[in-house]
């Protein structure tokens, strides 16, 4: 397998009309690749978090629409649009918080209306994928400019190549700053309950040769108090029109801590994560996942049988806690309802 993570793609379209992806539930212990030639299988993989991270979920969703179109054509279905609408509903529901998923599915349906059949939809999905990689590189460059030389950054969850089309958003900033010699170290939170930081960010940083220290989520406040953290950089699952940010559970706590300690709190995300149809974080659907993800680790129970548990997978960080939003079109500052709107207006002009 390719260990150059600047080129690493967690998901790819194959010429035999199938999609391959690295199974993120098995990393870092096993690097296993899965292949799907039916859209329902791919939707299952999104739901089970074999592919995860908002931009990667969006790309997987686009490929799922393409697979559904291929299946329709093979079966000689007459009503392609109707069939795709039904598939789109299933795909969108797989991970409700990730704005990129709804965005990518909508873009695929718009493309379907222009006709061209499955072939055009496959090309559109590949385009969504490539655009994401390019966006990440730009996010990385813009974000690195914000960091002081010798900076140490703290990041949460996994926002790297695995969570995107390739390269990464917040971890793309880390990667870019590291390649410029600006970064001293990275603190990666383990990210309970599913340990995306311990399993996936550690896997990526290790292979990229970037020094990192894994910390329990609960150590963040202590490290900030010690003065060991220069900035916090996270990704986003969805950004509302007012700049509120939905991201992995625990992000809000880090933002409040950053404010308390006078540290910059940066959110790195492509414009495909911005949802101007949602006024504020209150309108962002937050995914609730099975509680056994909290009551066990890697399938091993860690609490008493029948314990009640809470597994809200995301929280919302209010816009006023966000120092800047780093996009592929530049760095935005508050008030975000203005900067986000003008950014998207310029993008569509």
Q: Is 4 a catalytic residue?
A: no
196 contacts ligand MRU (rule: CB under 6 A): yes
Question: Closest separation between CB of residue 270 and ligand MRU, Å?
Answer: 8
Cα–Cα distance, 230 to 263 (Å, whole number)? 7
Measure Cα distances from 123 to 21, 129, 165 in Å.
18, 10, 15
DSSP annotation string for 170-221: HHHHHHHHHHTT-EEEEEEE--TTTTHIIIIIHHHHHHHT--EEEE-GGGHH
Backbone angles phi, psi at 18, to 5 degrees: -140, 170
Of the residues 132, 237, 244, 275, only one is catalytic, namely 237
Please tell me whether residue 163 binds ligand MRU under the rule CB under 6 A. Answer: yes
9 binds ligand MRU (CB under 6 A): no
Tell me the CA distances in angstroms from 308 to 158, 195, 291, 302, one per residue in order: 27, 20, 8, 12
Q: Which DSSP letter does residue 285 get?
A: P
In the bound state with ligand MRU, the residue whose beta carbon lies nearer, of 55 and 230, is 55
Is 247 an interacting residue with respect to ligand MRU (CB under 6 A)? yes
Closest contact distance (angstroms) between CB of 294 and ligand MRU is 13
Helix and strand counts by DSSP (H, E) for the chain = 12, 16
Listed ranges 58-66, 159-167, 276-284, 333-341: which one lies at the site for ligand MRU (CB under 6 A): 159-167
The one among 63, 87, 135, 159 contacting ligand MRU by CB under 6 A: 159
Asked if residue 55 binds ligand MRU (CB under 6 A), the reply is: yes
Which is closer to ligand MRU, CB of 236 or CB of 322?
236
Q: Which parts of this chain interact with ligand MRU (CB under 6 A)?
A: 52-55, 157, 159, 163-164, 169, 196, 234-237, 247-248, 313
């Amino acid at each position: 397998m390719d260990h150059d993570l600047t080129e690493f793609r967690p998901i790819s379209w194959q010429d035999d009309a199938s999609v391959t992806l690295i199974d993120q539930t098995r990393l870092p212990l096993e690097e296993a690749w899965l292949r799907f030639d039916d859209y329902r299988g791919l939707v299952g993989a999104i739901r089970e978090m074999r592919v995860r991270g908002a931009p990667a979920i969006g790309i997987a969703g686009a490929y799922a629409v393409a697979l559904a179109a291929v299946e329709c054509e093979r079966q000689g279905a007459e009503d392609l649009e109707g069939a795709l609408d039904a598939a789109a509903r299933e795909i969108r529901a797989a991970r409700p918080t990730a704005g990129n998923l709804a965005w990518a599915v909508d873009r695929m349906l718009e493309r379907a209306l222009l006709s061209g059949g499955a072939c055009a939809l496959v090309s559109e999905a590949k385009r969504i994928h490539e655009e994401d990689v390019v966006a990440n590189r730009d996010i990385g460059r813009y974000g690195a400019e914000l960091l002081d030389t010798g900076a140490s950054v703290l990041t949460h969850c996994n926002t790297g190549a695995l969570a995107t089309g390739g390269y990464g958003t917040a971890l793309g900033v880390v990667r870019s700053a590291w390649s410029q010699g600006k970064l001293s170290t990275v603190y990666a939170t383990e990210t309970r309950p599913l340990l995306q930081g311990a399993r996936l960010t550690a896997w990526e940083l290790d292979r990229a040769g970037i020094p990192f220290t894994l910390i329990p989520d609960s150590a963040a406040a202590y490290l900030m108090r010690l003065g060991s953290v220069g900035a916090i950089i996270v990704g986003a699952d969805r950004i509302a029109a007012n700049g509120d940010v939905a991201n992995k559970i625990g992000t809000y706590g880090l933002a409040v801590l950053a404010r308390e300690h006078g540290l910059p709190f940066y959110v790195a995300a492509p414009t495909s994560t911005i949802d101007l149809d949602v006024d504020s974080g209150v309108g962002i659907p937050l995914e609730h996942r099975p509680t056994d993800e909290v009551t066990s680790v890697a399938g091993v129970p860690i609490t008493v049988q029948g314990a009640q548990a809470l597994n809200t997978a995301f929280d919302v960080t209010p816009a006023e806690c966000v120092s800047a939003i780093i996009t592929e079109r530049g760095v935005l500052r508050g008030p975000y309802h203005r900067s986000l709107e003008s950014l998207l207006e310029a993008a569509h002009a």
